[in-house]
Amino acid sequence: MREFRFTTAGESHGKGLVAIVEGVVAGLPLEAEYVNKELKRRQAGYGRGTRMEIENDEAEIISGVRYGLTIGSPIALFIPNRDWQNWQEIMSVAPVEKEAEPITHPRPGHADLAGVTKYNLKDIRPIMERASARETAARVAAGAIAKRFLQQFGIVIHSHTLAVGEHRLEGVRTIDWGQVEVSLLRCADAELEREMMAAIDKARADGDTLGGVFELIAIGVPVGLGSHVGWERRLDGRIAQAIMSINAVKGVEIGSGFALARLSGSQAHDIIEPNPSLATAENEATRQSLPWRHASNRAGGIEGGMSNGEEIVIRAAVKPIATLANPLPSIDLRSGEMAVAHCERSDVCVVPAAGVIGEAMLAIVLTDACLDKFGGDNLKETLTNYHNYLNRILLGENELSNN
């Protein structure tokens, strides 16, 4: 990321999580309540573990905001871990007389084995603490700031659950986002949700876990974010990296994705046609209409590494959580002999929460792309640049129309 940057710090059972966000323009309305609403959405979802019963994530804005408006300097947020009170000795920052018994049975599918080997540690605990999905609470807090920024441009991001295990939402349908927000699984189909919940209940009873698929849809994204001129500026590449960085995500597709591989070129691409809804420039109610449209959206709103004016559609495959109540075989790193993997409390299914985290990561990438395209140090300046850009397109003030 070039303009909007963030970093996180903190361990799963440490004192808390920290997010530092840089590049936010001055003048953006921002209050802790807005961030905390997003944090609560991350904590919800059928299949979550007991940790969510302990924590009540709320972010404190430490810097970068005055009188409810950003001031252009780095924004620092702190999210305390309530469970810290039970882990103060195990996760002590200061030296202790007697260290906790080291964990030496790595969990298959986790960062345990690779991490303890890479960092030359005798205990898996430090790897578990930082590799934990608890860190994504800080990402959602940073993503809330990005969402607040995108709202100023009319850009809205939604997520919903497409699949849990073998149960999948089939066919193209209009999504009722209000229904999704009240659904325990963020599923648009009530009957399918009941089937998903039953599958989660069975997995829990078996000491197992379930994965699935979530879908992200960004509405109102202007044409021209990202660029074709360099690999690192391609919007689809940046989005794919951001979504793949989410814990347990093992696959990402944009638009029709892998299904395009089965089609011929004449079937795979989105026909470009005049926009029949385009009114005259004097009709303010429809001035946001582009002079053209795509007849379909198999590209998922991105062509040549740039947004093309259509909705951006992303799907991500979430593997089953790797911490199992009925642990898999592993080895003891001290003896090298077979052992049972370490077991720590865990969720059974995190697909709904992963979708909310996906929203945050997509918002971060789109915010960075907007700032890259429109610049500005103050929100009013950025919005002026944005509207000037739109006017050039909507009024036909471009080189092609002038020749």
Of 216, 215, 187, 182, give the one whose Cα is nearest residue 200. Answer: 187
3-state secondary structure of 22: strand
Section 250-270 average pLDDT: 96
Token pair 């059974």 in the structure block, residue:
348
User: How does DSSP classify residue 29?
Assistant: B
pLDDT at 192 over 70: yes
Q: Which residues of 141-153 are buried (b: 16+ CB within 10 A; e: fewer)?
A: bbbbbbbbbbbbb
Of 198, 211, 201, give the one whose Cα is nearest residue 322. Answer: 211
Give the integer Cα–Cα distance in Å for 296 and 112. Answer: 44
What is the model's pLDDT at position 281?
Answer: 42
Encoding tokens for residue 262?
């089965």
What is the model's pLDDT at position 291?
Answer: 85
N residues, the chain: 403
pLDDT at 356 over 50: yes
Q: Do 186 and 352 meet the contact criterion of CB atoms below 8 Å apart? A: yes
Among residues of the chain, what percentage have pLDDT more than 70? 93
Q: How confident is the model at residue 285 (pLDDT cuts 50, 70, 90)?
A: very low
Instruction: Please tell me the CATH code under which domain 5-255+299-402 is placed.
Output: 3.60.150.10
Of 300, 297, 295, 296, give the one whose Cα is nearest residue 313. Answer: 300
Q: How confident is the model at residue 401 (pLDDT cuts 50, 70, 90)?
A: low
The dihedral built from the CA positions of residue 234, 236, 238 and 241, taken in this order, carries a sign that is negative
Neighbours of 366 (CB within 10 A): 29
Q: Do 179 and 185 meet the contact criterion of CB atoms below 8 Å apart? A: no
DSSP H/E element including 118: helix 112-118
Of 350, 55, 354, give the one whose Cα is nearest residue 203. Answer: 350
Q: Do 217 and 312 meet the contact criterion of CB atoms below 8 Å apart? A: yes
What is the model's pLDDT at position 48?
Answer: 76
Give the integer Cα–Cα distance in Å for 147 and 143. Answer: 6
Section 163-184 average pLDDT: 92
Identity of the amino acid at 55:
E
Q: How confident is the model at residue 287 (pLDDT cuts 50, 70, 90)?
A: very low
Of 370, 341, 276, 328, give the one whose Cα is nearest residue 24. Answer: 370
For the packed helices 136-151 and 351-374, what is the interaxial angle rounded to 10 degrees? Answer: 50
pLDDT at 280 over 60: no
Phi, psi at residue 249, to the nearest 5°? -75, 125
Q: Which residues of 37-47 are buried (b: 16+ CB within 10 A; e: fewer)?
A: ebbebbbbbbb
pLDDT at 50 over 80: no
Q: Do 98 and 111 meet the contact criterion of CB atoms below 8 Å apart? A: no
Pairing of strands 292-294, 272-274: antiparallel
Neighbours of 275 (CB within 10 A): 14
Q: How confident is the model at residue 283 (pLDDT cuts 50, 70, 90)?
A: very low
Neighbours of 332 (CB within 10 A): 13
DSSP 144-181: HHHHHHHHTTT-EEEEEEEEETTEE--S-----HHHHH
Q: Do 290 and 309 meet the contact criterion of CB atoms below 8 Å apart? A: yes
Average pLDDT over the chain, rounded to an integer: 92
Encoding tokens for residue 335?
């003896």
**pLDDT per residue as tens digits for the range 122-157:** 999 999 999 999 999 999 999 999 999 999 999 999
Q: Do 22 and 93 meet the contact criterion of CB atoms below 8 Å apart? A: no
3-state secondary structure of 79: strand
Q: Do 197 and 203 meet the contact criterion of CB atoms below 8 Å apart? A: no
**pLDDT per residue as tens digits for the range 206-248:** 999 999 999 999 999 999 999 999 999 999 999 999 999 999 9
Lowest-pLDDT choice from 47-51, 105-109, 127-131, 282-286: 282-286
DSSP H/E element including 292: strand 292-294
R_g (Cα) of the chain, nearest Å: 23
